[in-house]
A and B are shown apart, each in its own frame.
Chain A
Amino acid sequence: SQQGEEDPQALSIQEGENATMNCSYKTSINNLQWYRQNSGRGLVHLILIRSNEREKHSGRLRVTLDTSKKSSSLLITASRAADTASYFCATDAREWASYDKVIFGPGTSLSVIP
């Protein structure tokens, strides 16, 4: 079962435009994270937002969290060709007493056209 799902599955934009990806999840969470994966590489952590936070910024990244709607969005401003990658949201799921398992969604594939 997937806790989080990203939308859209694929996104293609021109360099300089903003890119917005959304993530919806099913159960209550403690935090939500976004990761980036370049082709053929491992995932790289981008940002973590806690359940009591509504917005967080990191450089050109802006993440929002709406716990009432069980959704998050990742905005990349002024996109660059180097932002071409897959983006994953990950949420915790308290299924074990000693470990908040991190569950990944299927990802959004972003293509930034120069």
Chain B
Amino acid sequence: NAGVTQTPKFQVLKTGQSMTLQCAQDMNHNSMYWYRQDPGMGLRLIYYSASEGTTDKGEVPNGYNVSRLNKREFSLRLESAAPSQTSVYFCASSEAPDTGWLNEKLFFGSGTQLSVL
């Protein structure tokens, strides 16, 4: 009963390097999300995927790309990492839209702590 699994848990990059954060859910959820969490800022939505085959920008998409590989997996890619992307990244999933957006509850992974030097 894994829920939402993120890899890696920790990563240190140098400015300009690229990497992909992986996320998989085993709850047969339709929607998946990537958030970043910074001190005093709460969680900010980077990208989301309402269903398999679709992706949309969130509040802070610049510098990121995503791929909804299948219903289970949603990856986040940093093409050229910058120090401003130092953050904790969370993947989440939800049943919506099947259950309706108004009752959407998010299930979160345990996060990836990323440092860009």
The interface of chain A, by Cβ under 8 A from chain B, is: 2, 30-31, 33, 35, 40-45, 48, 50, 88, 90, 92, 96, 98-107
**0/1 string, B89-110, CB within 8 A of A gives 1:** 0101000010001111111111
Is B56 touching A42 in the complex (CB atoms < 8 A)? Answer: no
Q: Could you tell me the distance between the alpha carbons of A106 and B104 in the complex, rounded to whole angstroms?
A: 20
For A47, give the chain B residue with the smallest CB separation. B105
With A41-B110, A99-B50: A33-B4 Cβ-Cβ less than 8 Å: no
For A88, give the chain B residue with the smallest CB separation. B42
Please indicate the chain A residues that have their CB under 8 angstroms from the CB of B4 in the complex: 42
Please indicate the chain B residues that have their CB under 8 angstroms from the CB of A42 in the complex: 4, 90, 92, 108-111
Which 3 A-B pairs have CB atoms at the shortest separation, nearest pair first?
A: A42-B108, A104-B42, A104-B43
How large, as a class, is the contact surface on chain B?
Answer: 20 to 34
Q: Could you tell me the distance between the alpha carbons of A35 and B41 in the complex, rounded to whole angstroms?
A: 15
Q: What's the A-B contact tally at a CB cutoff of 8 Å?
A: 63
The interface of chain B, by Cβ under 8 A from chain A, is: 4, 35, 40-45, 48, 50, 56, 58-59, 90, 92, 97, 101-111
For A106, give the chain B residue with the smallest CB separation. B42
Is A31 touching B108 in the complex (CB atoms < 8 A)? Answer: no
Please indicate the chain A residues that have their CB under 8 angstroms from the CB of B56 in the complex: 96, 99
Q: How far is the CB of B98 from chain A (nearest CB, A)?
A: 14
For B107, give the chain A residue with the smallest CB separation. A45
Please indicate the chain B residues that have their CB under 8 angstroms from the CB of A33 in the complex: 105
**Best-surrounded residue of A43, A44, A88, A105 (most CB of chain B within 10 A):** A43
Q: Could you tell me the distance between the alpha carbons of A50 and B16 in the complex, rounded to whole angstroms?
A: 44
Q: Could you tell me the distance between the alpha carbons of A96 and B59 in the complex, rounded to whole angstroms?
A: 12
Please indicate the chain A residues that have their CB under 8 angstroms from the CB of B101 in the complex: 92, 98-100
Please indicate the chain B residues that have their CB under 8 angstroms from the CB of A41 in the complex: 110-111
Please indicate the chain B residues that have their CB under 8 angstroms from the CB of A50 in the complex: 102
Is A100 touching B104 in the complex (CB atoms < 8 A)? Answer: yes
Q: How far is the CB of B109 from chain A (nearest CB, A)?
A: 5
